[in-house]
């Protein structure tokens, strides 16, 4: 029993941020070399194989029952249509509240898989019959469901639900902690050396209510375990305990919210620690995503410091370390350092890591310098052994807990431990997940020497779905040990092969192109910044602190006249420069901009009041525009020879039109400005660029950069000033050969009329305007994912994106829960100074916008039902002008939304019945910019996307942040003329075309034909 030695205040001071670990994006070869060096000359691998061989034999002689996960995935690997269908159903079916949708989901998933091919063996049990039956009865397409079929379908869906429940139960020890503990007790009867670490299942908290619920559930679990174990004096190593996820205890457990993490999360964790320490149990903090690693160590050290003062003799505090991270060894050493500094001993669970696929995707999306995780499975295995070696070396201050189901890893570990003189049980333990590795551990534990702790999830069916899918993925991956063990075709030598021998060699050993090379050899991806990494964030902070916005003079009528004359005369030279030269200049501009991320972020924060994350994304977009359009120009503008009769040559050429007027908005003062300008320039036009009145300095700096890259003075001129005078003057000018505009539908109409009234050539207008963007959510969607997507799409950038979500259409069956969660998530948003990393929502652009949005909000307060709003702290409101609190209202019908409010205002409508009718109503709004669909019914998503008269459709994600060349952006209807920016058809609109036909027989005959050619 540990009793507190002193009482301490509840608050935790926030330590100064500092980089604890080496830079995250070490080349894989370097990280691997360090791991190999640390591992040293590992035991003879042949002996490792021999040690494990009997385990494999024994397990394979007693194959898992037909309903076990291993058997299932052997029959239906996750890479097959059946495996995927199974996973999709497992993830979604149980949460669908209405029968219609459950039937549609089941039909959709089973329709694409072929479960009839089974041999009747392993899968002949419940799941097989349920799924086979489902296939027979279910209608092929949702709408074909007749009454009889439907009756059949209901039965089958019920059977499938049951099958999935049984599947899930394999991985959950009990629905409640009490149930789980009695199951644990019965397992312990068979294997005495079992210990348990209970895990209360659920998605990460999105709201304060979620977090408090999890806290209560953890607290109750610790209390229950403590009561059951009584006053236990054996020490926490041999006691049962609990595993906690910090993301469950605080909805904003992220680096950007450090202050709140210390103020709000730590006291919660501390309350659990007090309970666990008093009962002398163990409490382990799970490892989550890489971008939380540094923060998790800060949290861990702050808690350790207090433990050392309050419960100096408690040895049950610990955390999980992921070996797949290239910084894993540094983490192990850092944890040992913390233990020594605070005079404590920790329990450290070494895992390989559960979020590998997500980490690879995130690194690519963010354009990071490298991957934070190993990209080859054997490298993770080597890192695991190296970390194990390090942990064994630190065992004075660390009790190592080796969590793995891999017999090769277990065998190597136990040998390494023996060489290090570490006694099983006393000096370290093994760990496995409930429902996995049972067979292997039955053998490993047989002689009674080794101790093993089971990570035991506890929860209701609804809570286990995400966990179940992770386990399905883990078990189903081809590289997974458990998967290969179930396949008798894999010989023992291959199964247990040395990871050291399987390592890649060379300097660049990443298994995927690095994020900068994502688009292949041709176009380099723009460089991102990981804002959770201090080394990367610091230059941005410094740039923001040092940025002063220079004044930009307005253009007079005389200056406009002079500019147009200059650009007109500059056109001949610029348009006849070889295409390759123009493309090279634009590409160089992209490279210069890529290298000046910090400087431009400073300008964007100061002039456009954008938050840090938005600034980074915007600079990247501008860089991508430069590189993409340069590539596109070279590919698409090259002269083409056309087929025709002999004796004639036909060539098609594209060239610039003349002086293009580019009018851009303030909401993307760099990306849209640069995109328009470089598209016009690279195609050979000269450009009169009119930036938004609110943001001329960013534009001016971009023009300077383009000049530095080689754009001549008479090819590009910036003309700052009001739209009514400067913009209108440019549009009206007789020399204007085309207009590229992004802004409101109203102004686009004015420009269109002005152009139509002019004499002279009819010139192109490329207009990208606003939208009444909707997201349609059906009852198969995961509410947590929906809420993340809604909050980002509706409120990020203070709702000042053309793509922003304005109208959420959510299925009646889940509406209450989703709305409640949105409300809770809105309450957690931080509204304030955009220069602060913690700020989610900065101010709106100017007083006019502020007044306009406020007026709309006042009207909605009277006319609609208020659902939720974010509270702006008084201090922020006083310090930062024009803050508008995110707010959400419910409207009775979709058609009640009539106007785009360019701010953080969300409208919500409930729907039921015909999902296609919802899309028809959305189409009827007349806009067509962005559309979100949240459903697990794949055929439904495809059909709705087809029906939508909308330019950009996003399925099961947020609906903002289109990436150049990846999601070409632009709408139809009232939302714009097209072609899409950042797409393959954009440049053509800036060009005139010329066909040159030469009669090659004109000189008297067809020499080529006569010479035997064609």
Ligand X SMILES: Cc1cc2nc3c(=O)[nH]c(=O)nc-3n(C[C@H](O)[C@H](O)[C@H](O)COP(=O)(O)OP(=O)(O)OC[C@H]3O[C@@H](n4cnc5c(N)ncnc54)[C@H](O)[C@@H]3O)c2cc1C
d(C-alpha 204, C-alpha 200), whole Å = 11
Residue placing its CB nearer to ligand X in the complex, 342 or 471? 471
The region of 90-98, 119-127, 370-378, 782-790 touching ligand X under the rule CB under 6 A is 370-378
Using CB positions, name the residue nearest to ligand X. 352
Residue placing its CB nearer to ligand X in the complex, 434 or 811? 434
Among 109, 296, 380, 568, binds ligand X (CB under 6 A): 380
Q: Please say whether the beta carbons of 694 and 609 come within 8 A.
A: no
d(C-alpha 944, C-alpha 918), whole Å = 9
Nearest distance from C-beta of residue 19 to ligand X, angstroms: 22
Beta strand segments in 587-746, E = 640-642, 648-656, 659-663, 686-690, 716-718, 736-742
Residue placing its CB nearer to ligand X in the complex, 374 or 629? 374
Enumerate residues 459-478 that contact ligand X by CB under 6 A.
474
The region of 180-188, 349-357, 631-639, 990-998 touching ligand X under the rule CB under 6 A is 349-357
- Write down how long the chain is: 1014
The region of 353-361, 641-649, 967-975, 978-986 touching ligand X under the rule CB under 6 A is 353-361
Among 160, 275, 409, 800, binds ligand X (CB under 6 A): 409
Buried b (16+ CB within 10 A) or exposed e, 982-991: bbeebbebbb
Residue placing its CB nearer to ligand X in the complex, 353 or 721? 353
Q: Which residues have CB under 8 Å from 575's CB, separation 6+?
A: 655, 656, 684, 685, 686
Among 109, 160, 296, 480, binds ligand X (CB under 6 A): 480
Among 76, 171, 455, 986, binds ligand X (CB under 6 A): 455
571-600 footprint of ligand X as x/- string (CB under 6 A): ------------------------------
Neighbouring CB atoms inside 10 A of 925's CB total: 22
d(C-alpha 679, C-alpha 990), whole Å = 8
Residue placing its CB nearer to ligand X in the complex, 136 or 361? 361
Q: Which residues have CB under 8 Å from 552's CB, separation 6+?
A: 696, 697, 699, 700, 718, 720
Query: Taking CB under 6 A as the rule, does residue 969 contact ligand X?
Result: no
Taking the C-alpha atoms of 413, 415, 416 and 422 in order, what is their torsion angle to the nearest 10 degrees? 100
Among 171, 374, 931, 986, binds ligand X (CB under 6 A): 374
Residue placing its CB nearer to ligand X in the complex, 197 or 780? 197
d(C-alpha 80, C-alpha 89), whole Å = 14
Chain Cα centroid distance, residue 506 = 30
Nearest distance from C-beta of residue 477 to ligand X, angstroms: 6
Beta strand segments in 447-573, E = 452-458
Q: Which residues have CB under 8 Å from 83's CB, separation 6+?
A: 73, 76, 77, 476
Q: Please say whether the beta carbons of 475 and 76 come within 8 A.
A: no
Query: Taking CB under 6 A as the rule, does residue 792 contact ligand X?
Result: no
Query: Taking CB under 6 A as the rule, does residue 354 contact ligand X?
Result: yes
d(C-alpha 34, C-alpha 39), whole Å = 9
Binding-site size for ligand X (CB under 6 A) equals 31
The region of 369-377, 550-558, 733-741, 947-955 touching ligand X under the rule CB under 6 A is 369-377
Enumerate residues 793-852 that contact ligand X by CB under 6 A.
none
DSSP 886-923: -EEEE-S-GGG--S---SSEEEEEEE-S-HHHHHHHHH
Among 2, 431, 611, 934, binds ligand X (CB under 6 A): 431
Beta strand segments in 333-440, E = 346-351, 398-403, 429-433
DSSP 748-786: HHHHHHHHHH-SS----EEEE-----EEEE-TTS-HHHH
Enumerate residues 674-733 that contact ligand X by CB under 6 A.
none
Query: Taking CB under 6 A as the rule, does residue 75 contact ligand X?
Result: no
Residue placing its CB nearer to ligand X in the complex, 478 or 999? 478
Query: Taking CB under 6 A as the rule, does residue 364 contact ligand X?
Result: no
Query: Taking CB under 6 A as the rule, does residue 406 contact ligand X?
Result: yes
Among 160, 326, 404, 773, binds ligand X (CB under 6 A): 404
Among 206, 342, 405, 657, binds ligand X (CB under 6 A): 405
Query: Taking CB under 6 A as the rule, does residue 525 contact ligand X?
Result: no
Residue placing its CB nearer to ligand X in the complex, 322 or 527? 322
Query: Taking CB under 6 A as the rule, does residue 736 contact ligand X?
Result: no
Among 355, 519, 850, 988, binds ligand X (CB under 6 A): 355
Residue placing its CB nearer to ligand X in the complex, 86 or 382? 382
Query: Taking CB under 6 A as the rule, does residue 407 contact ligand X?
Result: no
d(C-alpha 671, C-alpha 797), whole Å = 14
Among 292, 327, 377, 537, binds ligand X (CB under 6 A): 377
The region of 119-127, 429-437, 643-651, 698-706 touching ligand X under the rule CB under 6 A is 429-437
Nearest distance from C-beta of residue 437 to ligand X, angstroms: 7
Catalytic residues: 768, 802
Q: Is omega for the bond preceding 979 within 30 degrees of 0, making it cis?
A: yes
The region of 399-407, 575-583, 659-667, 882-890 touching ligand X under the rule CB under 6 A is 399-407
Closest CA to 805 of 786, 818, 778, 829: 786
Enumerate residues 269-328 that contact ligand X by CB under 6 A.
286-287, 320, 322, 324
Bridge partners (DSSP) of residue 402 are: 350, 430
Residue 455's SS3 state is strand
Residue placing its CB nearer to ligand X in the complex, 471 or 910? 471
Residue 198's SS3 state is strand
Nearest distance from C-beta of residue 253 to ligand X, angstroms: 14
Helix H, strand E, coil C: the string for 681-713 is HHCCCEEEEECCCCCHHHHHHHHHHHHHHCCCC
Rg (CA), the chain: 32
Residue placing its CB nearer to ligand X in the complex, 413 or 777? 413
Query: Taking CB under 6 A as the rule, does residue 606 contact ligand X?
Result: no
User: Dihedral of CA 461/466/469/471: which sign?
Assistant: negative
d(C-alpha 788, C-alpha 895), whole Å = 25
Query: Taking CB under 6 A as the rule, does residue 444 contact ligand X?
Result: no
Among 11, 479, 573, 635, binds ligand X (CB under 6 A): 479
Nearest distance from C-beta of residue 269 to ligand X, angstroms: 15
Query: Taking CB under 6 A as the rule, does residue 352 contact ligand X?
Result: yes
Query: Taking CB under 6 A as the rule, does residue 218 contact ligand X?
Result: no
Taking the C-alpha atoms of 703, 708, 713 and 715 in order, what is their torsion angle to the nearest 10 degrees? -70
Residue placing its CB nearer to ligand X in the complex, 377 or 582? 377
Query: Taking CB under 6 A as the rule, does residue 95 contact ligand X?
Result: no
The token pair at 460 is: 């209701």
Instruction: Please report, as ranges, the residues that interact with ligand X according to CB under 6 A.
Output: 286-287, 320, 322, 324, 349, 351-356, 374-377, 379-380, 403-406, 409, 431-433, 455, 474, 479-481
């Amino acid at each position: 029993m540990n009793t507190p030695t002193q009482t301490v205040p509840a608050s935790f001071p926030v330590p100064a941020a500092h980089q604890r670990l080496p830079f995250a994006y070490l080349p894989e070869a370097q990280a691997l070399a360090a791991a190999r060096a640390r591992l040293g000359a590992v035991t003879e691998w042949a002996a490792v194989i021999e040690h494990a061989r009997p385990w494999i034999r024994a397990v394979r002689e007693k194959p898992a029952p037909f309903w076990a996960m291993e058997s299932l995935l052997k029959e239906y690997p996750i890479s097959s249509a059946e495996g995927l269908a199974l996973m999709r159903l497992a993830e979604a079916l149980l949460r669908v509240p209405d029968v219609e949708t459950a039937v549609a989901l089941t039909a959709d998933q089973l329709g694409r898989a072929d479960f009839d091919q089974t041999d009747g063996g392993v899968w002949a049990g419940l799941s097989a019959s349920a799924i086979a039956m489902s296939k027979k009865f279910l209608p092929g397409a949702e709408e074909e469901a007749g009454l009889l079929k439907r009756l059949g379908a209901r039965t089958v869906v019920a059977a499938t639900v049951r099958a999935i429940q049984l599947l899930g139960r394999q991985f959950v020890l009990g629905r409640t902690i009490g149930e789980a503990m009695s199951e644990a007790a019965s397992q312990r009867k068979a294997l005495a050396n079992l210990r348990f670490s209970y895990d209360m299942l659920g998605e990460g908290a999105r709201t304060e209510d979620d977090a408090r619920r999890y806290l209560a559930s953890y607290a109750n679990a610790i209390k229950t375990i403590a009561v059951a174990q009584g006053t236990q004096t054996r020490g926490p190593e041999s006691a049962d305990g609990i595993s906690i996820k910090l993301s469950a205890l605080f909805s904003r457990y992220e680096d950007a919210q450090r202050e709140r993490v210390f103020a709000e999360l730590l006291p919660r964790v501390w309350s659990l620690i007090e309970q666990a320490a008093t009962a002398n149990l163990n409490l382990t903090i799970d490892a989550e995503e890489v971008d939380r690693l540094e923060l998790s160590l800060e949290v861990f050290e702050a808690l350790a410091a207090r433990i050392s003062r309050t419960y100096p003799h408690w040895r049950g505090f610990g955390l999980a370390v992921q070996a797949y991270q290239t910084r894993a060894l540094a983490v192990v050493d850092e944890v040992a350092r913390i233990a020594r500094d605070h005079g404590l001993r920790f329990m450290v669970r070494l895992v390989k890591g559960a979020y590998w696929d997500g980490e690879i995707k995130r690194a690519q999306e963010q354009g990071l310098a490298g991957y934070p995780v190993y990209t080859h499975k054997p490298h993770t295995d080597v890192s695991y052994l190296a970390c194990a070696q390090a942990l064994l070396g630190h065992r004075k201050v660390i009790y190592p807990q080796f969590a793995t189901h891999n017999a090769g890893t277990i065998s190597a570990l136990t040998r390494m431990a023996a060489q290090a003189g570490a006694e099983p049980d006393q000096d370290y333990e093994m760990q496995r997940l409930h429902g996995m590795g049972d067979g292997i551990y039955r053998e490993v534990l047989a002689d009674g020497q080794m101790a093993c702790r089971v990570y035991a999830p506890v929860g209701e069916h609804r809570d286990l779905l995400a966990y179940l899918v992770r386990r399905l993925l883990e078990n189903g991956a081809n590289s997974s040990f458990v998967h290969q063990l179930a396949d008798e075709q894999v010989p023992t030598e291959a199964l247990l092969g040395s990871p050291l021998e399987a390592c890649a060699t060379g300097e660049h050993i990443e298994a995927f192109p690095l994020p900068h090379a994502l688009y292949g050899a041709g176009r380099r991806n723009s460089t991102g910044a990981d804002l959770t990494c201090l080394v990367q964030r610091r230059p941005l902070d410094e740039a923001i602190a040092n940025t002063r916005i220079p004044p930009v003079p307005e253009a007079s009528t005389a200056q406009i006249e002079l500019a147009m004359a200059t650009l007109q005369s500059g056109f001949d030279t610029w348009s006849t420069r070889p295409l390759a030269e123009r493309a090279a200049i634009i590409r160089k501009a992209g490279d210069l901009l890529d290298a000046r991320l910090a400087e431009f972020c400073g300008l964007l924060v100061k002039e456009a009041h954008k938050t840090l994350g938005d600034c980074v994304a915007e600079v990247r977009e501008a860089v991508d525009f430069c590189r993409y359009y340069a590539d596109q120009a070279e590919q698409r503008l090259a002269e083409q020879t056309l087929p025709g009769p002999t004796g004639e040559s036909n060539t098609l050429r594209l060239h610039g039109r003349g002086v293009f007027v580019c009018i851009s908005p303030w909401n993307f003062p760099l990306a849209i400005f640069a995109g328009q300008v470089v598209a016009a320039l690279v195609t050979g036009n000269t450009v009169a660029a009119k930036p938004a009145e609110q943001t001329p300095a960013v534009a001016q700096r971009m023009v300077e950069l383009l000049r530095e890259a080689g754009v001549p003075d008479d090819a590009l001129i910036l003309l700052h000033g009001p739209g009514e005078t400067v913009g209108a003057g440019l549009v009206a000018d007789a020399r204007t050969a085309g207009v590229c505009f992004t802004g409101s539908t109203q102004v686009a109409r004015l420009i269109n009329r002005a152009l139509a009234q002019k004499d002279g050539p009819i010139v192109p207008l490329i207009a990208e305007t606003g939208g009444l963007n909707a997201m349609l959510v059906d009852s198969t969607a995961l509410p947590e994912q929906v809420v993340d997507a809604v909050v980002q799409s509706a409120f990020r950038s203070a709702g000042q994106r053309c793509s922003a979500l304005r109208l959420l259409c959510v299925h009646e069956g889940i509406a209450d829960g989703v709305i409640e969660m949105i409300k809770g998530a809105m309450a957690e948003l931080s509204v304030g100074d955009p220069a602060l990393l913690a700020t989610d929502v900065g101010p709106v652009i100017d007083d006019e916008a502020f007044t306009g949005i406020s007026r709309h909000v006042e009207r909605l307060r009277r006319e609609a039902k208020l659902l939720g709003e974010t509270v702006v702290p008084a201090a922020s409101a006083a310090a930062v002008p024009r803050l508008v609190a995110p707010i959400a209202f419910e409207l009775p019908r979709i058609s009640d939304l009539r106007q785009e409010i360019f701010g953080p205002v969300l409208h919500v409508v409930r729907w039921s019945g015909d999902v296609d009718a919802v899309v028809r109503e959305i189409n009827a709004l007349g806009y067509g910019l962005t559309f979100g669909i949240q459903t697990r019914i794949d055929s439904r998503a495809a059909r709705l996307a087809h029906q939508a008269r909308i330019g950009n459709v996003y399925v099961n994600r947020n609906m903002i942040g289109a990436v150049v060349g990846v999601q070409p952006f632009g709408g139809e209807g009232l939302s714009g003329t097209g072609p899409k920016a950042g797409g393959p058809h954009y440049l053509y609109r800036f060009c005139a075309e010329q066909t040159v036909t030469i009669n090659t027989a004109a000189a008297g005959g067809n020499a080529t034909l006569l010479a035997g050619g064609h």
